[in-house]
Amino acid sequence: MAYKSDIEIAREAKKKPILEIGAKLGIPAEHLLPYGHDKAKVGQGFIDSVQGNRNGKLILVTAINPTPAGEGKTTTTVGLGDGLNRIGKKAVICIREASLGPNFGMKGGAAGGGMSQVVPMEEMNLHFTGDFHAITSAHNLLAAMIDNHIYWGNTLEIDTRRVVWRRVVDMNDRALRQINCSLGGVANGFPREAGFDITVASEVMAILCLAKNLADLEKRLGDMIVAYRRDKSPVYCRDLKADGAMTVLLKDAMQPNLVQTLENNPAFVHGGPFANIAHGCNSVTATTTALKLADYVVTEAGFGADLGAEKFMNIKCRKAGLAPDAVVLVATVRAMKMNGGVAKADLGTENVAAVKKGCANLGRHIANLKGFGVPVVVGINHFVTDTEAEVQAVKDFVKAQGSEAFLCKHWAQGGAGIEDLARRVVELADKGSQFTPLYPDEMGLFEKIETIAKRIYHADEVLADKSVRDQLRAWEAQGYGHLPICMAKTQYSFSTDPNLRGAPTGHSVPVREVRLSAGAGFVVAICGEIMTMPGLPKVPSAETIRLNEAGQIEGLF
Protein backbone atom coordinates (compact mmCIF):
# COMPACT_ATOMS: atom_id res chain seq x y z
CA MET A 1 0.00 0.00 0.00
CA ALA A 2 1.65 3.24 -1.12
CA TYR A 3 0.99 6.38 0.82
CA LYS A 4 1.75 9.87 -0.36
CA SER A 5 4.37 11.70 1.66
CA ASP A 6 3.35 14.64 3.80
CA ILE A 7 4.91 17.09 1.40
CA GLU A 8 3.14 15.55 -1.60
CA ILE A 9 -0.18 15.89 0.19
CA ALA A 10 0.68 19.44 1.25
CA ARG A 11 1.59 20.43 -2.31
CA GLU A 12 -1.79 19.22 -3.56
CA ALA A 13 -3.64 21.25 -0.94
CA LYS A 14 -6.39 23.45 -2.34
CA LYS A 15 -5.51 26.46 -0.27
CA LYS A 16 -7.95 29.33 0.02
CA PRO A 17 -6.71 32.92 0.05
CA ILE A 18 -5.79 33.80 3.61
CA LEU A 19 -8.27 36.68 3.54
CA GLU A 20 -11.07 34.11 3.15
CA ILE A 21 -9.74 32.12 6.08
CA GLY A 22 -9.63 35.27 8.15
CA ALA A 23 -13.17 36.11 7.11
CA LYS A 24 -14.32 32.78 8.59
CA LEU A 25 -13.24 34.16 11.94
CA GLY A 26 -14.70 37.59 11.26
CA ILE A 27 -11.33 39.26 10.73
CA PRO A 28 -11.68 42.11 8.19
CA ALA A 29 -9.09 42.20 5.40
CA GLU A 30 -7.56 45.46 6.60
CA HIS A 31 -6.70 43.82 9.92
CA LEU A 32 -4.84 40.97 8.29
CA LEU A 33 -1.24 41.70 7.46
CA PRO A 34 -0.51 39.33 4.57
CA TYR A 35 2.77 37.47 4.12
CA GLY A 36 2.23 36.12 0.66
CA HIS A 37 -1.24 34.87 -0.22
CA ASP A 38 -1.47 32.10 2.36
CA LYS A 39 -0.13 33.53 5.60
CA ALA A 40 -1.09 36.60 7.57
CA LYS A 41 -0.58 38.28 10.90
CA VAL A 42 -3.61 39.47 12.83
CA GLY A 43 -3.46 43.18 13.63
CA GLN A 44 -3.37 44.42 17.21
CA GLY A 45 -6.23 46.82 16.56
CA PHE A 46 -8.51 43.94 15.70
CA ILE A 47 -7.35 41.93 18.70
CA ASP A 48 -8.14 44.90 20.94
CA SER A 49 -11.57 45.23 19.35
CA VAL A 50 -12.71 41.70 20.20
CA GLN A 51 -11.75 41.70 23.86
CA GLY A 52 -15.42 42.08 24.81
CA ASN A 53 -16.39 38.81 23.11
CA ARG A 54 -17.12 35.85 25.33
CA ASN A 55 -14.47 33.12 25.35
CA GLY A 56 -14.85 29.85 23.49
CA LYS A 57 -13.98 26.51 25.04
CA LEU A 58 -10.30 25.60 25.42
CA ILE A 59 -9.21 22.06 24.61
CA LEU A 60 -5.69 20.85 25.30
CA VAL A 61 -4.16 18.03 23.27
CA THR A 62 -1.38 16.26 25.09
CA ALA A 63 0.16 12.79 24.92
CA ILE A 64 1.70 9.87 26.70
CA ASN A 65 5.47 9.85 27.09
CA PRO A 66 6.84 9.87 23.56
CA THR A 67 8.48 6.80 22.10
CA PRO A 68 10.36 6.33 18.84
CA ALA A 69 7.08 4.87 17.54
CA GLY A 70 5.56 8.35 17.30
CA GLU A 71 2.34 9.61 18.84
CA GLY A 72 1.04 12.27 16.45
CA LYS A 73 0.12 15.02 18.88
CA THR A 74 0.18 17.83 16.33
CA THR A 75 -1.52 15.63 13.75
CA THR A 76 -4.30 14.96 16.26
CA THR A 77 -4.57 18.64 17.15
CA VAL A 78 -5.02 19.50 13.48
CA GLY A 79 -7.36 16.59 12.88
CA LEU A 80 -9.51 17.43 15.87
CA GLY A 81 -9.84 21.03 14.69
CA ASP A 82 -11.00 19.81 11.30
CA GLY A 83 -13.29 17.25 12.95
CA LEU A 84 -14.95 19.93 15.06
CA ASN A 85 -15.51 22.07 11.99
CA ARG A 86 -16.95 19.07 10.15
CA ILE A 87 -19.56 18.49 12.84
CA GLY A 88 -20.60 22.11 12.47
CA LYS A 89 -18.67 23.80 15.24
CA LYS A 90 -16.70 27.00 14.86
CA ALA A 91 -13.25 25.76 15.83
CA VAL A 92 -9.70 26.97 15.44
CA ILE A 93 -6.40 25.36 16.34
CA CYS A 94 -3.37 26.93 17.99
CA ILE A 95 0.01 25.30 17.54
CA ARG A 96 3.67 26.22 17.80
CA GLU A 97 5.95 27.43 15.03
CA ALA A 98 8.75 25.17 13.86
CA SER A 99 12.39 25.88 14.51
CA LEU A 100 14.46 26.31 11.36
CA GLY A 101 17.69 24.66 12.46
CA PRO A 102 16.50 21.12 13.21
CA ASN A 103 15.01 20.80 9.71
CA PHE A 104 18.54 20.61 8.36
CA GLY A 105 19.50 17.83 10.73
CA MET A 106 16.93 15.07 10.88
CA LYS A 107 13.94 15.01 8.63
CA GLY A 108 10.58 15.91 10.04
CA GLY A 109 8.51 19.06 10.02
CA ALA A 110 6.14 20.31 12.67
CA ALA A 111 2.92 20.94 10.82
CA GLY A 112 1.03 17.70 11.41
CA GLY A 113 0.96 14.78 9.00
CA GLY A 114 -1.04 12.85 6.46
CA MET A 115 -4.45 14.41 5.83
CA SER A 116 -4.18 16.42 9.04
CA GLN A 117 -1.70 19.11 8.18
CA VAL A 118 -1.36 22.85 8.31
CA VAL A 119 -0.25 24.60 5.14
CA PRO A 120 1.91 26.14 3.69
CA MET A 121 4.08 23.51 5.38
CA GLU A 122 7.29 24.34 3.49
CA GLU A 123 7.22 27.95 4.57
CA MET A 124 6.21 27.06 8.11
CA ASN A 125 9.34 24.95 8.29
CA LEU A 126 11.54 27.65 6.76
CA HIS A 127 11.37 31.38 7.49
CA PHE A 128 7.56 31.54 7.87
CA THR A 129 6.71 35.14 8.87
CA GLY A 130 10.12 35.83 10.34
CA ASP A 131 9.16 35.59 14.02
CA PHE A 132 12.12 33.46 15.01
CA HIS A 133 14.52 35.69 13.09
CA ALA A 134 13.13 38.65 15.01
CA ILE A 135 13.69 36.81 18.28
CA THR A 136 17.24 35.95 17.26
CA SER A 137 17.91 39.61 16.41
CA ALA A 138 16.43 40.93 19.64
CA HIS A 139 18.32 38.36 21.71
CA ASN A 140 21.65 39.08 20.02
CA LEU A 141 21.19 42.83 20.18
CA LEU A 142 21.09 42.50 23.95
CA ALA A 143 24.19 40.29 23.88
CA ALA A 144 26.05 42.85 21.78
CA MET A 145 24.98 45.63 24.14
CA ILE A 146 26.30 43.71 27.15
CA ASP A 147 29.76 43.26 25.69
CA ASN A 148 29.66 46.80 24.34
CA HIS A 149 28.87 48.10 27.80
CA ILE A 150 31.83 46.23 29.24
CA TYR A 151 34.03 47.49 26.42
CA TRP A 152 33.23 51.14 27.01
CA GLY A 153 33.97 51.13 30.74
CA ASN A 154 31.55 48.75 32.44
CA THR A 155 29.91 51.31 34.71
CA LEU A 156 27.40 48.64 35.74
CA GLU A 157 30.34 46.60 37.10
CA ILE A 158 29.33 43.42 35.33
CA ASP A 159 31.49 40.45 36.35
CA THR A 160 32.59 39.12 32.96
CA ARG A 161 32.70 35.61 34.45
CA ARG A 162 29.05 35.89 35.36
CA VAL A 163 27.42 37.00 32.12
CA VAL A 164 24.48 34.58 31.92
CA TRP A 165 23.04 35.99 28.69
CA ARG A 166 24.32 33.79 25.89
CA ARG A 167 23.79 34.37 22.18
CA VAL A 168 21.39 32.43 19.94
CA VAL A 169 21.20 31.18 16.37
CA ASP A 170 18.37 29.19 14.76
CA MET A 171 20.72 26.46 13.59
CA ASN A 172 22.02 23.16 14.94
CA ASP A 173 25.62 24.15 15.47
CA ARG A 174 27.53 22.33 18.19
CA ALA A 175 30.69 24.32 17.45
CA LEU A 176 29.05 27.35 19.06
CA ARG A 177 27.98 25.69 22.30
CA GLN A 178 31.05 26.91 24.06
CA ILE A 179 33.32 29.64 22.75
CA ASN A 180 35.81 32.22 23.90
CA CYS A 181 34.83 35.59 22.53
CA SER A 182 36.33 39.09 22.34
CA LEU A 183 39.71 37.71 21.31
CA GLY A 184 42.21 39.50 19.10
CA GLY A 185 43.22 42.48 21.15
CA VAL A 186 42.06 45.69 22.73
CA ALA A 187 39.72 46.71 19.92
CA ASN A 188 37.66 43.55 20.32
CA GLY A 189 36.91 43.77 24.03
CA PHE A 190 37.64 41.70 27.10
CA PRO A 191 38.06 37.99 26.36
CA ARG A 192 35.57 35.80 28.20
CA GLU A 193 33.80 32.47 27.98
CA ALA A 194 30.51 32.53 26.11
CA GLY A 195 28.28 30.37 23.94
CA PHE A 196 25.23 30.05 21.75
CA ASP A 197 21.88 28.32 22.26
CA ILE A 198 19.34 27.56 19.57
CA THR A 199 16.79 30.37 19.23
CA VAL A 200 13.87 28.42 20.67
CA ALA A 201 15.82 28.19 23.94
CA SER A 202 15.96 31.99 24.26
CA GLU A 203 14.16 33.54 27.20
CA VAL A 204 12.94 36.09 24.65
CA MET A 205 11.00 33.27 22.99
CA ALA A 206 9.41 32.26 26.30
CA ILE A 207 8.52 35.88 26.99
CA LEU A 208 7.02 36.43 23.54
CA CYS A 209 4.81 33.42 24.22
CA LEU A 210 3.70 34.55 27.67
CA ALA A 211 3.33 38.31 27.16
CA LYS A 212 -0.18 39.67 26.98
CA ASN A 213 0.68 42.63 24.77
CA LEU A 214 3.60 44.81 23.68
CA ALA A 215 3.71 46.74 26.96
CA ASP A 216 3.84 43.48 28.92
CA LEU A 217 6.51 42.22 26.51
CA GLU A 218 8.69 45.26 27.10
CA LYS A 219 8.31 45.01 30.86
CA ARG A 220 9.24 41.33 30.88
CA LEU A 221 12.23 41.91 28.60
CA GLY A 222 13.42 44.58 30.99
CA ASP A 223 13.06 42.13 33.90
CA MET A 224 15.45 39.60 32.42
CA ILE A 225 18.66 39.00 34.35
CA VAL A 226 21.64 39.12 32.00
CA ALA A 227 24.63 39.07 34.34
CA TYR A 228 25.76 39.37 37.92
CA ARG A 229 28.23 41.65 39.63
CA ARG A 230 31.07 40.43 41.83
CA ASP A 231 28.75 40.87 44.81
CA LYS A 232 26.31 38.60 42.94
CA SER A 233 23.68 41.29 42.57
CA PRO A 234 21.83 40.92 39.27
CA VAL A 235 22.16 43.16 36.23
CA TYR A 236 18.92 43.44 34.31
CA CYS A 237 18.25 43.95 30.63
CA ARG A 238 16.63 47.22 31.69
CA ASP A 239 19.95 48.42 33.14
CA LEU A 240 21.44 48.16 29.66
CA LYS A 241 18.49 50.06 28.14
CA ALA A 242 18.00 47.30 25.59
CA ASP A 243 14.34 46.56 26.31
CA GLY A 244 12.93 49.33 24.10
CA ALA A 245 14.89 48.42 21.00
CA MET A 246 14.20 44.71 21.55
CA THR A 247 10.49 45.47 21.70
CA VAL A 248 10.75 47.38 18.42
CA LEU A 249 12.43 44.34 16.85
CA LEU A 250 9.65 42.09 18.18
CA LYS A 251 6.72 44.35 17.30
CA ASP A 252 5.49 42.28 14.34
CA ALA A 253 6.57 38.97 15.84
CA MET A 254 4.11 39.52 18.69
CA GLN A 255 1.15 39.34 16.31
CA PRO A 256 -0.36 35.85 15.86
CA ASN A 257 0.08 34.15 12.49
CA LEU A 258 -2.96 32.81 10.67
CA VAL A 259 -2.71 29.91 8.23
CA GLN A 260 -5.06 27.06 7.33
CA THR A 261 -5.47 23.31 7.56
CA LEU A 262 -5.75 21.09 4.48
CA GLU A 263 -9.52 21.39 4.99
CA ASN A 264 -9.31 25.19 4.91
CA ASN A 265 -10.00 25.70 8.58
CA PRO A 266 -8.19 28.49 10.39
CA ALA A 267 -5.05 27.75 12.34
CA PHE A 268 -2.99 30.05 14.53
CA VAL A 269 0.68 29.12 14.47
CA HIS A 270 2.61 31.33 16.83
CA GLY A 271 5.67 31.03 19.02
CA GLY A 272 7.64 27.92 19.87
CA PRO A 273 9.55 27.89 23.15
CA PHE A 274 11.61 24.88 24.13
CA ALA A 275 9.64 22.40 26.19
CA ASN A 276 12.47 21.67 28.63
CA ILE A 277 14.00 24.94 29.86
CA ALA A 278 10.82 26.76 28.85
CA HIS A 279 7.12 25.95 28.89
CA GLY A 280 6.66 24.54 25.36
CA CYS A 281 3.33 26.13 24.38
CA ASN A 282 2.24 28.43 21.57
CA SER A 283 1.76 32.09 22.44
CA VAL A 284 -0.75 33.40 24.92
CA THR A 285 -1.75 36.07 22.40
CA ALA A 286 -2.68 33.41 19.83
CA THR A 287 -4.66 31.33 22.32
CA THR A 288 -6.50 34.24 23.91
CA THR A 289 -7.28 35.76 20.50
CA ALA A 290 -8.54 32.42 19.19
CA LEU A 291 -10.82 32.07 22.23
CA LYS A 292 -12.46 35.38 21.32
CA LEU A 293 -13.06 34.29 17.72
CA ALA A 294 -14.12 30.64 17.91
CA ASP A 295 -16.38 28.45 20.01
CA TYR A 296 -13.73 25.75 20.36
CA VAL A 297 -9.99 26.27 20.47
CA VAL A 298 -7.76 23.22 20.21
CA THR A 299 -4.17 23.68 21.35
CA GLU A 300 -1.26 21.46 22.28
CA ALA A 301 1.69 21.38 24.63
CA GLY A 302 5.18 19.99 24.08
CA PHE A 303 6.42 16.51 25.01
CA GLY A 304 4.29 14.14 27.11
CA ALA A 305 1.62 15.23 29.58
CA ASP A 306 4.02 14.98 32.55
CA LEU A 307 5.97 17.92 31.13
CA GLY A 308 3.82 19.60 28.50
CA ALA A 309 0.40 19.47 30.10
CA GLU A 310 1.83 20.17 33.55
CA LYS A 311 3.52 23.33 32.28
CA PHE A 312 0.47 24.29 30.23
CA MET A 313 -1.61 24.13 33.41
CA ASN A 314 0.85 25.51 35.93
CA ILE A 315 2.63 28.12 33.82
CA LYS A 316 0.63 29.16 30.77
CA CYS A 317 -2.90 28.88 32.19
CA ARG A 318 -1.87 30.35 35.54
CA LYS A 319 -0.18 33.36 33.97
CA ALA A 320 -2.75 33.98 31.26
CA GLY A 321 -5.81 33.32 33.41
CA LEU A 322 -6.87 30.42 31.18
CA ALA A 323 -8.71 27.26 32.18
CA PRO A 324 -8.84 24.23 29.90
CA ASP A 325 -12.35 22.82 29.46
CA ALA A 326 -11.24 19.39 28.29
CA VAL A 327 -8.06 17.45 27.63
CA VAL A 328 -7.41 14.98 24.83
CA LEU A 329 -4.65 12.53 25.65
CA VAL A 330 -3.10 11.08 22.49
CA ALA A 331 -1.88 7.50 22.52
CA THR A 332 -0.99 4.95 19.90
CA VAL A 333 -1.13 1.19 19.99
CA ARG A 334 2.49 1.13 18.87
CA ALA A 335 3.60 3.37 21.74
CA MET A 336 1.68 1.18 24.20
CA LYS A 337 3.53 -1.82 22.82
CA MET A 338 6.89 -0.08 23.18
CA ASN A 339 5.98 0.88 26.73
CA GLY A 340 5.11 -2.78 27.16
CA GLY A 341 8.62 -3.81 26.17
CA VAL A 342 8.37 -4.50 22.41
CA ALA A 343 11.33 -3.46 20.25
CA LYS A 344 10.74 -0.99 17.43
CA ALA A 345 11.36 -3.61 14.75
CA ASP A 346 8.57 -5.79 16.13
CA LEU A 347 5.89 -3.15 16.38
CA GLY A 348 4.13 -4.48 13.28
CA THR A 349 3.26 -7.78 14.95
CA GLU A 350 0.08 -8.10 17.04
CA ASN A 351 0.85 -8.29 20.74
CA VAL A 352 -2.17 -7.62 22.94
CA ALA A 353 -0.35 -8.54 26.12
CA ALA A 354 2.33 -5.94 25.50
CA VAL A 355 -0.34 -3.34 24.73
CA LYS A 356 -2.03 -4.08 28.05
CA LYS A 357 1.25 -3.94 29.91
CA GLY A 358 2.21 -0.62 28.28
CA CYS A 359 -1.10 0.98 29.21
CA ALA A 360 0.28 1.74 32.66
CA ASN A 361 1.91 4.87 31.23
CA LEU A 362 -1.41 5.97 29.74
CA GLY A 363 -3.23 5.26 32.98
CA ARG A 364 -1.00 7.45 35.04
CA HIS A 365 -1.34 10.39 32.64
CA ILE A 366 -5.13 10.06 32.80
CA ALA A 367 -5.06 10.14 36.59
CA ASN A 368 -2.61 13.06 36.67
CA LEU A 369 -4.71 15.11 34.29
CA LYS A 370 -7.90 14.44 36.21
CA GLY A 371 -6.06 15.77 39.23
CA PHE A 372 -6.18 19.21 37.58
CA GLY A 373 -9.98 19.02 37.67
CA VAL A 374 -10.36 18.70 33.90
CA PRO A 375 -12.25 16.00 31.95
CA VAL A 376 -9.93 13.69 29.99
CA VAL A 377 -10.64 11.70 26.85
CA VAL A 378 -8.15 9.49 25.01
CA GLY A 379 -7.58 9.71 21.26
CA ILE A 380 -6.00 6.61 19.75
CA ASN A 381 -4.10 7.83 16.70
CA HIS A 382 -4.62 4.96 14.28
CA PHE A 383 -1.76 3.22 12.48
CA VAL A 384 -2.45 0.74 9.68
CA THR A 385 -0.68 -2.02 11.58
CA ASP A 386 -3.01 -1.75 14.60
CA THR A 387 -5.24 -4.81 15.07
CA GLU A 388 -8.79 -4.68 16.37
CA ALA A 389 -7.86 -6.63 19.47
CA GLU A 390 -5.04 -4.26 20.31
CA VAL A 391 -7.26 -1.20 19.91
CA GLN A 392 -9.92 -2.87 22.04
CA ALA A 393 -7.34 -3.55 24.75
CA VAL A 394 -6.56 0.16 24.97
CA LYS A 395 -10.25 1.07 24.99
CA ASP A 396 -10.96 -1.42 27.75
CA PHE A 397 -8.08 -0.15 29.81
CA VAL A 398 -9.17 3.47 29.49
CA LYS A 399 -12.75 2.57 30.37
CA ALA A 400 -11.51 0.89 33.53
CA GLN A 401 -9.89 4.23 34.44
CA GLY A 402 -13.28 5.87 34.24
CA SER A 403 -12.48 7.58 30.96
CA GLU A 404 -13.15 6.84 27.30
CA ALA A 405 -10.91 6.20 24.26
CA PHE A 406 -11.78 6.84 20.61
CA LEU A 407 -10.07 5.37 17.60
CA CYS A 408 -9.12 8.31 15.34
CA LYS A 409 -8.32 7.96 11.65
CA HIS A 410 -7.61 11.62 10.88
CA TRP A 411 -4.13 10.87 9.54
CA ALA A 412 -5.68 8.92 6.64
CA GLN A 413 -9.06 10.60 6.42
CA GLY A 414 -8.69 14.12 7.80
CA GLY A 415 -11.49 15.56 9.90
CA ALA A 416 -13.90 12.82 8.79
CA GLY A 417 -11.80 10.26 10.65
CA ILE A 418 -12.09 11.94 14.03
CA GLU A 419 -15.74 13.01 14.27
CA ASP A 420 -16.58 10.67 17.17
CA LEU A 421 -13.82 12.13 19.30
CA ALA A 422 -14.85 15.64 18.25
CA ARG A 423 -18.45 15.02 19.41
CA ARG A 424 -17.30 13.71 22.75
CA VAL A 425 -14.93 16.63 23.22
CA VAL A 426 -17.79 19.04 22.60
CA GLU A 427 -19.92 17.29 25.24
CA LEU A 428 -17.13 17.39 27.80
CA ALA A 429 -16.02 20.93 27.08
CA ASP A 430 -19.57 22.27 27.15
CA LYS A 431 -19.99 20.88 30.65
CA GLY A 432 -16.89 22.81 31.69
CA SER A 433 -14.14 21.94 34.13
CA GLN A 434 -13.17 22.60 37.72
CA PHE A 435 -9.62 23.53 36.78
CA THR A 436 -7.13 24.20 39.56
CA PRO A 437 -3.36 24.39 39.15
CA LEU A 438 -1.30 21.85 41.03
CA TYR A 439 0.12 24.31 43.54
CA PRO A 440 -0.61 27.83 44.75
CA ASP A 441 1.69 30.78 43.99
CA GLU A 442 2.53 31.17 47.66
CA MET A 443 4.01 27.68 48.05
CA GLY A 444 7.82 27.68 48.50
CA LEU A 445 9.94 27.05 45.40
CA PHE A 446 11.45 23.79 46.59
CA GLU A 447 8.07 22.59 47.79
CA LYS A 448 6.67 23.31 44.32
CA ILE A 449 9.36 21.12 42.79
CA GLU A 450 8.54 18.39 45.30
CA THR A 451 4.86 18.69 44.55
CA ILE A 452 5.42 18.19 40.82
CA ALA A 453 7.85 15.33 41.43
CA LYS A 454 5.55 13.49 43.82
CA ARG A 455 2.13 14.24 42.38
CA ILE A 456 2.99 14.10 38.65
CA TYR A 457 6.10 11.92 38.42
CA HIS A 458 5.16 9.76 41.42
CA ALA A 459 8.70 10.02 42.72
CA ASP A 460 9.60 9.39 46.34
CA GLU A 461 11.85 12.36 46.78
CA VAL A 462 13.66 15.30 45.25
CA LEU A 463 17.43 15.34 45.65
CA ALA A 464 19.21 18.67 45.61
CA ASP A 465 22.51 20.01 46.90
CA LYS A 466 22.59 22.69 49.52
CA SER A 467 23.66 25.17 46.86
CA VAL A 468 20.47 24.54 44.92
CA ARG A 469 18.30 24.89 48.00
CA ASP A 470 20.17 28.03 49.07
CA GLN A 471 19.70 29.54 45.63
CA LEU A 472 15.95 28.89 45.75
CA ARG A 473 15.76 30.48 49.18
CA ALA A 474 17.76 33.47 47.97
CA TRP A 475 15.31 33.99 45.11
CA GLU A 476 12.43 33.76 47.54
CA ALA A 477 14.08 36.46 49.61
CA GLN A 478 14.47 38.58 46.45
CA GLY A 479 10.76 38.34 45.74
CA TYR A 480 10.72 35.54 43.17
CA GLY A 481 9.10 32.98 45.47
CA HIS A 482 5.69 33.32 43.83
CA LEU A 483 6.96 32.06 40.46
CA PRO A 484 5.91 28.68 39.06
CA ILE A 485 8.46 25.97 38.33
CA CYS A 486 9.52 24.95 34.83
CA MET A 487 10.82 21.38 35.02
CA ALA A 488 13.57 20.42 32.59
CA LYS A 489 13.82 16.66 32.52
CA THR A 490 13.74 13.87 29.97
CA GLN A 491 10.51 13.62 28.01
CA TYR A 492 10.75 9.83 27.70
CA SER A 493 9.87 8.82 31.22
CA PHE A 494 7.99 9.97 34.29
CA SER A 495 11.36 9.63 35.97
CA THR A 496 14.65 11.30 35.08
CA ASP A 497 15.87 8.05 33.48
CA PRO A 498 14.82 8.02 29.81
CA ASN A 499 14.87 4.23 29.74
CA LEU A 500 12.36 3.82 32.52
CA ARG A 501 9.11 3.48 30.57
CA GLY A 502 5.65 2.69 31.89
CA ALA A 503 4.63 4.15 35.25
CA PRO A 504 7.65 3.97 37.53
CA THR A 505 7.43 4.59 41.27
CA GLY A 506 9.95 4.81 44.09
CA HIS A 507 12.39 6.88 42.06
CA SER A 508 14.24 10.07 43.00
CA VAL A 509 14.34 13.33 41.07
CA PRO A 510 17.78 14.94 41.26
CA VAL A 511 17.76 18.67 40.66
CA ARG A 512 21.20 19.42 39.29
CA GLU A 513 20.80 23.15 38.80
CA VAL A 514 18.19 25.90 39.03
CA ARG A 515 17.91 28.92 36.76
CA LEU A 516 15.81 32.02 37.11
CA SER A 517 13.96 33.23 34.01
CA ALA A 518 12.92 36.46 35.67
CA GLY A 519 11.40 37.96 32.54
CA ALA A 520 9.44 34.91 31.46
CA GLY A 521 8.50 34.47 35.10
CA PHE A 522 9.47 30.97 36.10
CA VAL A 523 12.23 29.08 37.87
CA VAL A 524 13.78 26.31 35.80
CA ALA A 525 14.68 23.13 37.67
CA ILE A 526 17.18 21.14 35.64
CA CYS A 527 17.15 17.39 36.23
CA GLY A 528 19.83 15.71 34.14
CA GLU A 529 21.59 16.86 30.98
CA ILE A 530 19.61 19.40 29.02
CA MET A 531 20.83 20.29 25.56
CA THR A 532 20.09 23.85 24.48
CA MET A 533 22.11 23.65 21.26
CA PRO A 534 21.62 20.53 19.14
CA GLY A 535 24.20 19.23 16.70
CA LEU A 536 23.76 17.95 13.16
CA PRO A 537 23.85 14.21 12.47
CA LYS A 538 26.54 12.53 10.39
CA VAL A 539 24.47 12.91 7.23
CA PRO A 540 22.36 16.03 7.75
CA SER A 541 19.14 16.22 5.81
CA ALA A 542 20.50 19.53 4.46
CA GLU A 543 22.61 17.47 2.07
CA THR A 544 19.51 16.36 0.17
CA ILE A 545 17.37 19.46 0.50
CA ARG A 546 17.14 21.33 -2.80
CA LEU A 547 14.83 22.92 -5.31
CA ASN A 548 13.73 20.58 -8.07
CA GLU A 549 13.25 21.56 -11.71
CA ALA A 550 9.70 22.69 -10.97
CA GLY A 551 10.97 25.01 -8.25
CA GLN A 552 9.54 22.78 -5.51
CA ILE A 553 11.43 21.99 -2.34
CA GLU A 554 12.72 18.43 -2.14
CA GLY A 555 14.12 16.64 0.89
CA LEU A 556 12.82 18.92 3.59
CA PHE A 557 10.35 16.41 5.04
User: Which residues, numbered 93-132, are part of the site for a copy of itself (CB under 8 A)?
Assistant: 100, 104, 126-127, 130
- Whether residue 220 lies in the annotated active site: no
Stretch that binds a copy of itself, among 7-15, 171-179, 387-395, 455-463 (CB under 8 A): 171-179
Rank residues 134 and 421 by Cβ distance to a copy of itself and give the closer one: 134
- Whether residue 397 lies in the annotated active site: no
- Whether residue 303 lies in the annotated active site: yes
**129 annotated as a binding-site residue:** no
- Using the rule CB under 8 A, is 241 a contact of a copy of itself? yes
CA distance 301 to 67: 16
Rank residues 443 and 542 by Cβ distance to a copy of itself and give the closer one: 542
**28 annotated as a binding-site residue:** no
CA distance 207 to 344: 38
By CB under 8 A, the count of residues binding a copy of itself is 75
Closest Cα partner for 268 from 277, 260, 279, 278?
260
Stretch that binds a copy of itself, among 31-39, 54-62, 258-266, 509-517 (CB under 8 A): 31-39
Distances in Å between the alpha carbon of 16 and those of 104, 119, 120, 143, 554? 29, 10, 11, 42, 23
**69 annotated as a binding-site residue:** yes
User: Which residues, numbered 322-361, are part of the site for a copy of itself (CB under 8 A)?
Assistant: none
- Whether residue 75 lies in the annotated active site: yes
Report the nearest approach of a copy of itself to the CB of residue 32 (Å). 9
Beta-carbon contacts of 549 under 8 Å, excluding residues fewer than 6 positions away, are none
- Using the rule CB under 8 A, is 177 a contact of a copy of itself? yes
- Using the rule CB under 8 A, is 194 a contact of a copy of itself? yes
- Using the rule CB under 8 A, is 179 a contact of a copy of itself? yes
Report the nearest approach of a copy of itself to the CB of residue 348 (Å). 32
The C-alpha torsion from 65 through 71 and 73 to 74, rounded to 10°, is 140
- Using the rule CB under 8 A, is 137 a contact of a copy of itself? yes
User: Which residues, numbered 290-309, are part of the site for a copy of itself (CB under 8 A)?
Assistant: none
CA distance 260 to 112: 12
- Whether residue 96 lies in the annotated active site: yes
3-state secondary structure at position 39: coil
CA 242 centroid distance within chain: 27
**73 annotated as a binding-site residue:** yes
The answer to whether 493 and 452 have CB atoms below 8 angstroms apart is no
Report the nearest approach of a copy of itself to the CB of residue 553 (Å). 5
The answer to whether 27 and 7 have CB atoms below 8 angstroms apart is no
- Whether residue 107 lies in the annotated active site: yes
Closest Cα partner for 84 from 433, 431, 374, 416?
416
Stretch that binds a copy of itself, among 29-37, 340-348, 383-391, 462-470 (CB under 8 A): 29-37
Report the nearest approach of a copy of itself to the CB of residue 70 (Å). 25
Q: Of 7, 13, 309, 556, which lies in the binding site for a copy of itself, with binding defined by CB under 8 A?
A: 556
* DSSP codes, 408-443: E-HHHHGGGGGHHHHHHHHHHHHH------SS-TTS
CA 205 centroid distance within chain: 11
Q: Of 11, 16, 151, 455, which lies in the binding site for a copy of itself, with binding defined by CB under 8 A?
A: 151
**Which phi-psi region, left, alpha or beta, contains residue 98 (left: φ > 0; alpha: ψ -120 to 50)?**
beta
Catalytic site residues? 73, 75, 96, 107, 275, 303, 383, 411
Binding residues for ATP: 67-74
